[in-house]
Amino acid sequence: MCGIVGYIGTKKASPILINGLLRLEYRGYDSAGIATIENDKISIMKDKGRVKNLYNLPGIGDLKGTIGIAHTRWATHGKPSKENAHPHMDNSNTFSCVHNGIIENYHELREFLTNNGYTFYSQTDTEVIPNLVHYYYSKDTNNDDLRFLRAVNKACLDLKGSFAIEIISKDYPDNMIVVRKDSPLVIGKANGENYLSSDIPAILSFTRNFYLLDDYEFAILSRNNVKFYDKDLKPINKNTTTIEWNASSAEKDGYDDFMLKEIYEQPTAIRETIGAKFSESTKCEFEDLDFTKEYLESINKIYIVACGTAMHVGLAGKNILEKLCKIPTEVDIASEFRYRDPLVDDKTLCIFISQSGETADTIAALKLSKEHGAKTLVITNVIGSSITREADYSIYTHAGPEIAVASTKAYTSQLVLMTILGIYFAEVLEISNDDIKELKKEILTLPKKVETVLKTCDQIKEFAKKVYQEKDIFFLGRGIDETAAREASLKLKEISYIHSESYPAGELKHGPIALIENDVTVIGVMTDPKLVEKTISNLQEVITRGAKTLILTNQDIDKSMFDLVIDLPKTNPFISPIISIVPLQLFAYYISKEKGLDVDKPRNLAKSVTVE
């Protein structure tokens, strides 16, 4: 949530800042703004609403400053308004800052500053930051080059919560200071200029060389240099990391929406995620994993912890780990995990799944697990993200940037990687059976099969036109198909705003069938041959009550009883959600388009949820 951009160099900062904010719109926001240094004064331009509104602000075309900061805000403290939009300024107009995260003790800091003569003009927690910096700055009588840094350092040590902060000062027109704690921030290094952002894609067109900040690392940026300091202001050395993403992968490339582009990118993302990790005749290998048979035999439980779509990957992963590896596995929602005193110890392996690697709830759960002695393993898409620097082990999908808020290719890539991880564990445990051999063979065919499924888009589009005005839609499945039903229901909620629910098909008669009436749409997923007959029996119960039905299956069934049947390629049930979810992603997409909604930026949602 929220987005940060910064620039210091020789070019006009304002167009670079606004362009960066436009690339961060997928994160979700309600206001936007920039601050630049103009003739030794700080100029702030901000407004409620979309980034494009900035173009209409008086005087924005006259900005010539070559240093600036920018922000898209997602309201937490205070309603969406121009006053609450970032950047914020201190009372003396000496400092301006933007901030992602939550300052948990802002009430007491605000009271302290008010008692010391400071006035506040917004409802935000962020406004305490520049005023606190000014407070410490005014108390420092040593007017040397590090006075600005000392003030920022002291202010940040007073903050409780999470933050990524950029600060500029009219007294230091050739410098910018940045710091982070539990919230993402990267520095892009170029020739004679430096860029900053909360997300790499926003500045990827300018550089591929990035500094990745750890918690409480402070950086002073000039045009030609970046100096790093630790929490005690001792100088530290950092090396850049090269990011190999193609900058064009963050553009639409002719598609109407990022979401549609990313749906169609799934065959490529799956191929890249599989990589060279195994073949039909070789064992699975992860360069960064060194699990032993003795360790895996010693653990008594695996926890998979995640949020939203990533949690649905975990549900499918539980099925894979328990059946292939015979290890008891629990799936937990990250936001609940830490507050229920989970039974975690040194015989627990905790697996965390996060597309961005910056999901605050998931990172907090990981830290708790480490405190209890568990080994931690992360599945993510972003090298160098916060969660990877906390975990004992990290493995990566290779989905590339995912811009649309509703996750598609990240889901399928994560599930592919989760499956390969399950096979890897089974092979380390020396569990060898025909299921594993067959599964490896099937994984290698997944990209082609997903390409085949994408060709069903016309059928899905026509069905979407028939049902897009409905208020309620239900999804049913059994076993691993129910995990795909959950994800499909979430997709529909996220981008169409239609109320939808998913249920294990066998639970229908235990309550939910009371909601089924004439002309309600019910969608069934059936890919496990052991469960098809029972699922069909449940679907007949809704048909007799007048429901319309869309069925996705790779089994031989009597199609005449259903309104539409989408034929899926046959595959191993372990990985069937990777195939069955694709038409349902398209279903949600086409319904949203029929309703004229913003597919890529659904209301109230953000791509990267960096606050709890």
Share above pLDDT 90 across residues of the chain, in percent, rounded to a whole number: 66
Angle at the Cα of 486 from the Cα atoms of 483 and 491, rounded to 5 degrees: 130
Sign of CA dihedral 304, 306, 309, 311: positive
Mean pLDDT of 403-408: 91
Using the predicted structure, report yes or no on whether residue 426 has a pLDDT greater than 90.
yes
Cα separation, 583 vs 601, in Å, equals: 21
Which residue, chain included where needed, has tokens 């959950």?
486
Is 0.95 surpassed by the pTM of this model? no
Structure confidence at residue 1 (pLDDT): 54
Using the predicted structure, report yes or no on whether residue 62 has a pLDDT greater than 60.
yes
Cα separation, 84 vs 40, in Å, equals: 25
Q: Which residues does 524 contact at the CB level (< 8 Å), separation at least 6?
A: 475, 476, 477, 505, 535, 538, 539, 549, 550, 551, 552, 553
Which residue, chain included where needed, has tokens 């499956």?
419
- Residue 397 shares a structural domain with residue 424: yes
pLDDT band at 192 (very low <50, low <70, confident <90, very high): very high
- Residue 307 shares a structural domain with residue 440: yes
Structure confidence at residue 38 (pLDDT): 95
Closest residue by Cα to residue 83 from 111, 48, 129, 35: 48
Residue 417 resides in a domain: yes
Can you read off the two tokens belonging to residue 457? 């888009």
Cα separation, 555 vs 573, in Å, equals: 11
State the residue range of the domain holding 341: 252-453
In the sheet with 241-242, reading across from the earlier edge strand, the strands are: 41-48, 31-38, 67-73, 3-8, 193-197, 186-190, 209-212, 241-242
Structure confidence at residue 247 (pLDDT): 62
Confirm if 554 and 528 have CB atoms less than 8 A apart: no
Using the predicted structure, report yes or no on whether residue 250 has a pLDDT greater than 70.
no
Can you read off the two tokens belonging to residue 369? 């697990």
We report the CATH number of the domain holding residue 275 as 3.40.50.10490
- Which of 405, 438, 453 is the last residue before a domain boundary? 453
Q: Which of 11-15, 24-28, 267-271, 598-602 has the lowest mean pLDDT?
A: 24-28
Which residue, chain included where needed, has tokens 């708790």?
368
**Distance of alpha carbon 413 from its chain centroid, rounded?**
14
Residue 609 resides in a domain: no
Can you read off the two tokens belonging to residue 109? 């800091």
Please state the domain count of the chain: 3
Closest residue by Cα to residue 551 from 524, 580, 529, 522: 524
Catalytic residue positions, numbered: 2, 607
- Residue 209 shares a structural domain with residue 317: no
pLDDT tens digits along 494-541: 999 999 999 888 877 888 787 788 888 999 999 999 998 888 988 888
Cα separation, 584 vs 300, in Å, equals: 36
Cα separation, 47 vs 397, in Å, equals: 37
- Residue 328 shares a structural domain with residue 240: no
Residue 143 resides in a domain: yes
Using the predicted structure, report yes or no on whether residue 94 has a pLDDT greater than 80.
yes
